[in-house]
Amino acid sequence: MLLRTGSALVAGVLLALAFEPVGASFLIPFAVAGFVLTTRGLPARRGWIPGLAFGIGFCYVLMFWMRVVGIDAWLALSALEASFYALLGAVAAALSRLRLAPVWIACAWVGMEAVRSTWPFGGMPWGRLAFATASTPWQEALPYVGQAGVSLLLALLGCLLAWAVATVGRARVVSAVAAVAVLGVSLVPALTPYDTPTDGSRSVAVVQGNVPGDGDDILLDHRQVTRNHVDATIALAHKVAAGEETEPDFVLWPENSTAVDPFADTQINGEIREASDAVQRPILVGAMVDAGAEHVLNQGIVWVPGIGASDRYTKRHPVPFGEYIPWRSVFRSNFGRLALIPRDMRSGTRTTPLRIADTAVADAICFDVAYDDGIHAQIRNGAELLVVQTSNAMFINTSQIEQQFEISRLRALETGRYVLVAATNGVSGVVAPDGTVLDRAEPKTQAVLTEDVGLSTAITPAVWLGPWVGRACAAVAVVALCLGLLPYRRRQRRGEEVQA
């Protein structure tokens, strides 16, 4: 068991290395194979041990960036996420006794990803296998089968590799051939990339205003952060007037471009109006808006010159224990750090796109980009392009900013939309529907990226499928587990009867 557990820990670390900043995506199937091999043949009551070791190796390395929030936050979040792999280890051990075991275990893996992406406290999708496929041939399958579908192909490939190693004779040959077949299927979309039709275009200016000092504390001088975005926008207006820059149809500011309510703070309100009047185009402002004495909203607000605020999007997935405190009455007095969160952030429920400059725009604020639901809903309801407003200042010196930008790139492929990312100080960029980065601002700099982007209302198969691939995999795994346990229980009873 010690060898299995140690090997599982190493396999988990290898999977983490498939993500940024290393980005060794080819390790994915081998890491999955390592997980399967270390749980194979164990009783379910012991399969959780190597499963937990795998989860520890994976989650603690992948989310090492959480340490900037606090060592306790990194330890707690990683432990919670690792527990899902412990459960998966027990399930995989039980399923390994069945015929077609690689299929059932791959479904269980994707089902586990679906569950941990939604539960508890809204879930944490970080670390889905598909999120490590940017700039690989596997990314081309995203518009066809979505994030869950790509995860399924990779998980199945890893499971078949494990079976090819663990079995002998005809079973080994069949597993190896099946692995080659799955690899071939997963790469077919690279030969026929999905082509999303466009209908018209817009010019959009993405503003990265920068954060004073080291850049990792946006609240240290939050008024200067807002001023930076105002100044960058006014400078853009001057360049447009001089014929040095293309006139944008609208301007995109990041999350937390104002950390105070622009409707309550006259100074911030005036500065936003100053920028809007200068550029004479709508600005999508990222703002914290008061919602009573105990709550706050994280919003993208369409600010129209001469009019003011109009359409709004509210962040759907606030971060538990970071932007709100579940069971506040219990945790308030027990954890000193939580005193830094005096008000809970409420979740948004919007499923329709914003209207900006006669354009239907899907919005995602920061970690929203990792969740399927809000983005898919807005795309299905007519969004013609996707914007991501984010404030990664706290994580600016970590790999989190690159991991999140890679997810944004993959969303472009999955949805068939241009994606524009505005960050306070990195990473901002413009991504084409094929995942190509058209422009990108360097972290810790002030920059304005102006690009012509295509519009589309076509819906990819991935968006139509939505959550159903993950749900179907979870259902298949549960059914397989139940069917596998029935004969196992019967054999146990017969053995007891014989002994009696």
Just list the catalytic residues.
255, 315, 366
> Which residues have CB under 8 Å from 327's CB, separation 6+?
none
Closest CA to 94 of 83, 105, 107: 105
CA 213/CA 16 separation, integer angstroms: 31
Q: Are 393 and 425 in contact (CB under 8 A)?
A: yes
Structural tokens at position 433: 């529907």
Closest CA to 226 of 250, 262, 251: 262
CA 294/CA 435 separation, integer angstroms: 41
Structural tokens at position 28: 């994915």
Based on DSSP, count helices (H) and strands (E) in the chain, helices before strands: 14, 13
| Residue 439 burial class via C-beta count within 10 angstroms: exposed 0-12, middle 13-18, buried 19 and up | middle
CA 354/CA 358 separation, integer angstroms: 10
Q: Are 391 and 328 in contact (CB under 8 A)?
A: no
CA 89/CA 96 separation, integer angstroms: 10
Q: Are 424 and 391 in contact (CB under 8 A)?
A: yes
Structural tokens at position 319: 């971060």
